[in-house]
Amino acid sequence: MTFTKTPGWLDWYADPSKPRFVVPAGAVDAHCHVFGPGDEFPYAPERKYTPCDASKAQLFALRDHLGFARNVIVQATCHGADNRALVDALVHSEGRARGVATVRRSVSDAELQGLHAAGVRGVRFNFVRRLVDFTPKDELLEIAGRIARLGWHVVIYFEAVDLPELWDFFSALPTTVVVDHMGRPDVTKPLDGPEFALFLRFMREHANVWSKVSCPERLSLSGPPALDGEQQAYRDVVPFARRVVEEFPDRVLWGTDWPHPNLKGHMPDDGLLVDFIPRIARTAELQRKLLVDNPMRLYWPEEC
């Protein structure tokens, strides 16, 4: 099937620079996606955007170029609950990728077992309105109860303004809970203001909650973008990510977010995104926890 990209779609950056920052041995890119290819793995009818293709081979080439050892591939909403592209990438990764799937209440136990065998270790619940239609919370809680028995966790994606309304639901989740992109703070608001304070309190009061300190390119409003050799990119996001890394060093993950769906202003150079890491994790110990120890504990516990 041939698909036409959403108008204005920005394709991933074709020729990323080699990062100056050398990631520690065994580093995991813990948030990235594969898209299609659409003629092999069609995009879901209920999708809110149609991306450019981004194949497993292209993802694995980027992994090697940036110096990472492994990937955690997260099901993107353009594939709905059809996890075939994700599973195909996992089974062709030679054990170097694990996954986070999207499932519906109708998923069978045998299907869950099949996903587990392929390397899936979590499900994603998305609350970003431009990406998904609402799924009833009782359905999500039922799914969370079932996947908890497999030792999986729940990844949640929401925007900062929605945390108060979602707090009780998130608190009821029976698994480790991983927040995408720090709950999307508005970085024009003060670091010590009530909105980000609520997110930090959410992490403080829930020892099972982790956060990805990813996506400065999505959160930044004043940049400058990670392009043209820029070594001080996304300055406005640095204090927020640094705060989370330093307060919760054992519960943070980092990922490229390649191929960066739905960016509007620019497409970052992924090599320069890697150079963002030492600005938010300022010691070798913090870097090792963020890039190796934490993702390994969550996704490859049998090796820890």
Ligand X SMILES: O=C(O)/C=C(\CC(=O)C(=O)O)C(=O)O
> Contact with ligand X (CB under 6 A): which of 55, 262, 287, 294?
262
Binding mask 229-258 for ligand X (x = CB under 6 A): ----------------------------x-
Phi, psi for 178 (deg, rounded to 5):
-110, 120
Contact at 8 Å (CB) between 62 and 270?
yes
Number of residues that bind ligand X (CB under 6 A): 11
Q: Which two tokens stand for residue 131?
A: 């990406």
Catalytic residue among 29, 53, 257, 269: 257
**Binding residue (CB under 6 A) for ligand X from 180, 269, 270, 275:** 180
State the Cα–Cα distance between residues 168 and 181, nearest whole angstrom. Answer: 20
52 is an interface residue for ligand X by CB under 6 A: no
* Choice between 157 and 288, CB closer to ligand X: 157
257 as an active site residue: the answer is: yes
- Return d(Cα 120, Cα 72) in angstroms, integer: 9
- From residue 263 to residue 282, the character string flagging contacts with ligand X as x (rule: CB under 6 A) and all else as - is --------------------
Q: How far apart are CA 298 and CA 177, in angstroms?
A: 11
Residues 157-176 that bind ligand X (CB under 6 A): 157
Distance CA(128)–CA(113), nearest Å, equals 28
Nearest to 91 by CA among 108, 63, 112, 114: 114
Binding status of residue 261 toward ligand X by CB under 6 A: yes
- Least Cβ distance, residue 76 to ligand X (angstroms): 4
How far, in Å, CA of 140 to CA of 115, rounded? 18
Using the contact rule CB under 6 A, the part of the chain among 38-46, 71-79, 91-99, 283-291 near ligand X is 71-79
Q: To the nearest whole angstrom, how small is the minimum distance from the Cβ of residue 9 to ligand X?
A: 12
d(CA 155, CA 103): 12
**Nearer to ligand X (CB atom), residue 77 or residue 211:** 77
What is the chain's alpha carbon radius of gyration, rounded to the nearest angstrom? Answer: 18
Specify the stretch interacting with ligand X by CB under 6 A; choose among 56-64, 65-73, 74-82, 187-195.
74-82
Does residue 226 touch ligand X according to CB under 6 A? no
Euclidean distance between CA atoms 119 and 299, whole angstroms: 9
Q: Where are the alpha helices (DSSP H) in 149-184?
A: 163-171
Catalytic (active-site) positions:
257
Binding residues (CB under 6 A) for ligand X: these are 33, 76-78, 131, 157, 180, 218, 257, 261-262
